[in-house]
Amino acid sequence: MKLEWRHVRLATLAAICSIGPLAASAQLKPTYSNPLTVSKADAPLTVVVPEVPTSVSFAGKTISFDRVDMAERLDRELTAIVYGQTSMLLCLKRANRYFAPLEKILRDEGVPTDFLYLACTESVLDPGAYSSAKAAGMWQLLAETARQYGLEVNDDVDERYDPERSAVAACRYLKAAYAKYGDWATAAASYNAGMGRISGELSKQGQQSSFDLYINQETTRYVYRILAYKLIMENPQRYGYRLHRNQLYQPIRYTEVEVSTSVPSWVDWAQQQGLSYAQLREANPWIRNSKLTNTSGKTYRVRIPLKDDLYRSSRRTVVHNPKWTVD
């Protein structure tokens, strides 16, 4: 039996050698159960390269991209975000839930609504985001900065995780930065690097705008990334994102209950409201412990989600921006 198998192997090798190396390699090409066929009417498969505009409007100011270095930096961020499909898709879906209340806050605070795209850049609109630098929430505030601008941060309560309350704090920071620089793009850069760093580099390098600074790569890329999110989210279909209405995350309506005492167990409290503990925490991400030690008697407003909005079969369908969907 061993001799027979040896003869078979030798015969096979001889056959391959006899047809030549090119023919052999052709026979050894991979095969597919669903081979790709392209008709004459079909365009060939291509990787679409995002087009870099000649200018972009940001916070009421037109930013020119005639400068080669600026155009290439925007190109990098457009390409990275367009082809980072997971993050971009989640950002579009979440924006449908969060943009309406956040826009109102920005307008009320006197901050341009283009700063919604700063939140996209910081966290992909994830309220639970937490960075290695210990920045937390959708607006990625450090604990010290959050307290400085009016948020409560402790073991029981961390308002950085509340998208709306942290938006107010972020607006206060941005307004302070704008008062210092007189330029919203530079204020945005300071959100990443800090006002101390930006002010020091502007002075040292003799410049007026963050676009003209030689600074660390993260901050250099930061404002361009905000602009890239703006371009894509204002016209996602242009960049290949085609979503349907029912794929967007829907806003959730709430009633509110005032709590001015300690809460020994949020689990028990949630059950008394007809909720699971998980549903309570999802609706109130600022709750950071299973209990509330409220020795000062502060009043907290706890959100209770409407039952209809917790189920796909009974929720409303709202589209914040018609350009986000194809139907």
Per the DSSP assignment, residues forming a β-bridge with 61 are 58
- Note down the domain range covering 84: 55-244
Q: What is the CATH number of the domain that holds 138?
A: 1.10.530.10
Q: What is d(CA 294, CA 287) in angstroms, rounded to the nearest whole number?
A: 12
CA-to-CA distance for 75 and 215, rounded, in angstroms?
19
Residues 232 and 145 grouped into a single domain: yes
Give the residue from 105, 96, 163 showing the smallest Cα distance to 315: 96
Angle, helices 217-234/116-123, rounded to nearest 10 degrees:
120
- Are 73 and 158 within one domain? yes
Mean pLDDT on 87-107? 98
The reply to whether 185 and 77 lie within a common domain is: yes
Mean pLDDT of 118-134: 98
pLDDT at res. 2:
43
Using the 3D structure, point to which of 244, 266, 288 is the last residue of a domain: 244
For residue 326, being part of any structural domain is answered with no
Same domain, residue pair 269 and 226:
no
pLDDT of amino acid 48: 81
Is residue 187 one of the residues assigned to a domain?
yes
Nearest to 303 by CA among 257, 272, 251: 257
Range in 40-49, 174-183, 201-210, 281-290 the model is least confident about? 40-49
d(CA 74, CA 222): 10
Q: How confident is the model at residue 67 (pLDDT cuts 50, 70, 90)?
A: very high
Tell me if 22 is assigned to some domain: no
- Indicate the pairing of strand 61-64 with strand 254-259: unpaired
CA distances from 63 to 60, 234, 320 (A): 10, 17, 27
- Neighbouring CB atoms inside 10 A of 39's CB total 5
- Indicate whether 122 and 192 sit together in one domain: yes
Same domain assignment for residues 129 and 197: yes
Q: What was the pLDDT predicted at 166?
A: 98
Residue 38, pLDDT > 80, answer no
pLDDT tens for each residue of 222-269? 999 999 999 999 999 999 999 999 999 999 999 999 999 999 999 999
Has residue 48 been placed in a domain? Answer: no
Cα 212 to Cα 193: distance, rounded to the nearest angstrom: 15
Between the alpha carbon of residue 26 and those of residues 14, 20, 21, the distances in Å are 17, 10, 9
Residues 129 and 233 occupy one common structural domain: yes
| Residues 170, 194 share a domain | yes
**Judging by DSSP bridges, how do beta strands 61-64 and 55-58 pair with one another?**
antiparallel
Selection from 10-14, 41-45, 131-135 with the highest mean pLDDT: 131-135
The domain total for the chain is 2
Is 62 in contact with 54 (CB distance < 8 Å)? no
pLDDT, residue 34, reads: 52
Q: Is the pLDDT of residue 171 over 90?
A: yes
Q: Is residue 269 part of a domain?
A: yes
Residue 7 lies in a domain: no
Say whether both 144 and 281 belong to one domain.
no
Domain identity same for 229 and 90: yes
Q: Is the domain of 232 the same as that of 287?
A: no
Burial class (CB in 10 A: 0-12, 13-18, 19+), 295: exposed
Q: What is the mean pLDDT of the chain?
A: 91
Tell me whether residue 224 is in a domain. Answer: yes
Q: Is residue 35 assigned to a domain? A: no
Which pTM does this prediction carry? 0.86
| pLDDT per position as a tens digit, 154-164 | 999 999 999 99
Query: Do 180 and 232 belong to one domain?
Result: yes
